[in-house]
Amino acid sequence: MKREDTWQLTSCYKRHTCSKATKIGIMSSKWLSKAFMKKICENPKIKLETLIRKAHSKWNVDLTKTKAAKVKQQALDEINGTYGEQYRRIHDYAAEHLYNNFRKSFPGVQLKMMIWKAAKATYV
């Protein structure tokens, strides 16, 4: 920076005009859950008070316990998936388990096709 023109601000007499509002409507629970996703993924048992404090210190926003709980639950649902979604895939898991158990005893494609056919059927 020896040969560059630079300047330094030493004092400023302007008044600070940032908003002091702590209830901001655009910070929805969906947005907050994505913002806290990493924290909740690292520690799924994080306390609601911790989320409230972090939101206040980072964005100067007041979070109610109800909204913090909703944010945490949405993030956990995104991380783990909902139970209904996992339950819908139970036939696939069962078919995979059966196939892996019988694969050594019955090599070939016929067993695999029979197991997947049974898994896709609504009744056996």
Q: Where are the domains positioned within the chain?
A: 29-81, 87-120
What pTM value is reported for the model? 0.55
- How long is the chain? 124
| pLDDT score of 123 | 61
Q: What angle do CA 23, 25, 27 make, to 5 degrees?
A: 95
Identify whether the C-beta of residue 37 lies closer than 8 Å to the C-beta of residue 46: no
For 33-75, how does the pLDDT look when each residue is reduced to its tens digit (9 = 90+)? 999 999 999 999 999 999 999 998 888 888 999 999 999 999 9
Question: Taking 70 as the threshold, does the pLDDT of residue 78 lie above it?
Answer: yes
Mean pLDDT computed over every residue of the chain: 83
Q: What angle do CA 8, 12, 16 make, to 5 degrees?
A: 130
| Comparison of pLDDT for 52 and 80, the residue scoring more | 52
